[in-house]
């Protein structure tokens, strides 16, 4: 995870978890609609309505889009609660239609996350799974070009009795989609196939309406458990990383401003330690532990940095890993004056607050 913060703009945080994969970089930059696709303008009326939807306020905005399985998901905002959610599904759509209307259905909302359900109608229209994947790659390229920090969650094609004759094509498409997502840390694949089958290995009729294609409320409650569980896990991870970022910022600004209060807010003052490098008598580089309760007063008592020096300070968060919402490991690059530090910070959630419990560093 990379974040660049300058001392001039203290409140700005730029998240960029990882660079786009090489495959995305090589993708065709100009969207090309599959020539076997139906005319997307058949949705012009519905898209005009979607284009008038208000943009919800709040952080973590999430767009759900795709064909009728998304459009007919009543109560999605409550089922996938936690952050603002908007539903831009348009029934009968193909992946190619989503690509054509990507601006109206996704980009104008500037979301942090996008959940997509497409491919179902493509298969029924006898497009090949590989052809659908080519369009999928264009969708991903367009979305990540607009926001490299966005995460894209693909819901795999569902089984249904009305389209059971296409079973093998659906399975092939889902396999290709899952493998594609595995290659890019910004993409996630959500498997709904097995959970929607009955004991006989066929689509469970109890979760579909009379057409044996679209789901009833029981079906959507099943999706809630699968899709929204994944949604909430990623939302919690995002929330924890934001809180950890705040802790690291307190450390950074507390250090350059000689502010003991900010430093105390960042560190486990009583029990936390820092490994300090030193050269022993045998001229070997070793480390010794020092408690933050002893170090912080010394940092705060140092001479104030000049405004010019502070202006040139910077913090870059190189990586953030969170384990079970309880522990975190952060790697940072911190420039103070003419000195650049690489820190590895261990954090724990103590009494609901993320605190730095251990720090190791080198000077480069």
Measured between alpha carbons, how far is 294 from 242 in angstroms, rounded to an integer? 28
pLDDT recorded at residue 321: 87
pLDDT tens column, 301-326: 999 999 999 999 999 999 888 888 89
Length of the chain: 364
* Residue 347 structure tokens: 């954090």
pLDDT band at 9 (very low <50, low <70, confident <90, very high): very low
* pLDDT on residue 12: 36
Residue 10 has pLDDT above 50, yes or no: no
Q: Quickly state the pLDDT bin for 276 (edges 50, 70, 90).
A: confident
pLDDT digits (tens, 9 = 90+) for 59-91: 889 999 999 999 999 999 999 887 899 999 999
- pLDDT confidence tier of residue 49, bands split at 50, 70 and 90: very high
pLDDT at 24 over 80: no
Determine if residue 256 is left, alpha or beta; phi over 0 gives left, psi from -120 to 50 gives alpha, anything else beta: alpha
- Please name every residue paired with 285 in a beta bridge, in sequence order, or none if there are none: 279
Q: Tell me: the pLDDT tens digits for 35-45? A: 567 899 999 99
Residue bearing the bigger pLDDT, 162 or 30: 162
| Res 59: pLDDT | 80
Residue 281 region by backbone torsions, left for phi larger than 0, else alpha for psi between -120 and 50, else beta: alpha
Average pLDDT, the chain: 88
pLDDT of residue 230: 59
Region 31-215: CATH code = 3.40.50.1110
3-state secondary structure of 291: strand
Quickly name the fold that domain 260-363 has. Nuclear Transport Factor 2; Chain: A, (3.10.450)
Question: Average pLDDT for residues 31-37, to the nearest whole number?
Answer: 55
The pLDDT > 90 percentage for the chain reads: 73
The reply to whether 260-363 shares the fold of 31-215 is no
pLDDT at 340 over 90: yes
Percent of the chain residues topping a pLDDT of 70:
88
Instruction: Using pLDDT thresholds of 50, 70 and 90, give the confidence band for residue 231.
Output: low
- How high is the pLDDT of residue 17? 33
Cβ-Cβ contacts under 8 Å for 206 (sequence gap 6 or more): 198, 218
Q: For position 232, what pLDDT does the model report?
A: 59
Mean pLDDT over residues 218-245, rounded?
A: 81
Q: What is the pLDDT of residue 21?
A: 37
Q: What is the DSSP letter of 181?
A: H
Span 97-122, pLDDT tens digits: 999 999 999 999 999 999 999 999 99
The domain ranges of the chain are: 31-215, 260-363
Tell me how far apart the alpha carbons of residues 86 and 356 are, in angstroms, rounded to a whole number. Answer: 36
Between CA 254 and CA 336 the distance in angstroms is 12
pLDDT digits 0-9 by tens, 173-183: 999 999 999 88
- Cβ contact 303:279 at 8 Å: no
Output the pTM of the full model. 0.59
Residue 48 confidence (pLDDT) above 80: yes
Which tokens belong to 282? 């045998």
**Cβ(329)–Cβ(346) under 8 Å?**
yes
So what's the pLDDT on residue 4?
43
Instruction: Give the mean pLDDT of 141-152.
Output: 94
**Cβ-contact 347, 354 below 8 angstroms:** yes
What is the predicted pLDDT for the residue at 238?
67
Average pLDDT over residues 188-204: 96
């Amino acid at each position: 995870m990379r974040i660049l913060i300058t001392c001039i703009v203290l409140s700005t945080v730029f998240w960029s978890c990882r660079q786009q994969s090489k495959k995305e970089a090589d993708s065709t930059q100009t969207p090309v609609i599959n020539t076997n696709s139906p005319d997307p303008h058949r949705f012009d009326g519905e898209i005009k309505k979607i284009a008038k939807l208000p943009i919800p306020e709040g952080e973590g905005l999430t767009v759900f889009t795709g064909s009728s399985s998304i459009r007919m998901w009543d109560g999605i905002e409550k089922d996938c609660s936690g952050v603002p959610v908007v539903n831009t599904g348009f029934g009968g759509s193909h992946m190619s239609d989503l690509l054509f209307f990507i601006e109206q259905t996704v980009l104008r909302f500037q979301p942090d996350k996008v959940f997509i359900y497409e491919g179902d109608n493509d298969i029924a229209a006898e497009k090949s799974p590989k052809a659908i994947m080519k369009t999928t790659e264009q969708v991903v390229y367009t979305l990540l070009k607009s926001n490299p920090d966005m995460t894209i969650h693909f819901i795999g094609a569902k089984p249904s009795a009305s389209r059971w004759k296409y079973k093998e094509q659906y399975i092939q498409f889902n396999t290709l989609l899952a493998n594609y997502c595995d290659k890019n840390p910004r993409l996630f694949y959500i498997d709904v196939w097995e959970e929607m089958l009955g004991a006989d290995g066929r689509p469970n009729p109890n979760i579909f309406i009379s057409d044996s294609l679209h789901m009833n409320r029981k079906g959507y409650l099943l999706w809630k458990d699968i899709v929204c569980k994944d949604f909430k896990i990623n939302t919690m991870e995002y929330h924890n990383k934001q809180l950890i970022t705040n802790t690291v910022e307190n450390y950074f600004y507390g250090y350059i401003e000689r502010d003991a209060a900010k430093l105390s807010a960042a560190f486990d003052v009583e029990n936390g330690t820092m490994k300090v490098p030193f050269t022993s008598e045998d001229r070997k580089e070793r480390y010794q532990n020092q408690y933050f309760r002893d170090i912080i007063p010394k940092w705060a008592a140092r001479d104030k940095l000049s405004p010019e020096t502070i202006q040139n300070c910077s913090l870059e968060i190189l990586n953030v890993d969170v384990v079970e919402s309880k522990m975190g490991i952060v790697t940072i690059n911190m420039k103070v004056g003419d000195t650049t530090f690489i820190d590895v910070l261990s954090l724990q959630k103590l009494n609901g607050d993320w605190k730095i419990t251990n720090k190791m560093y080198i000077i480069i």
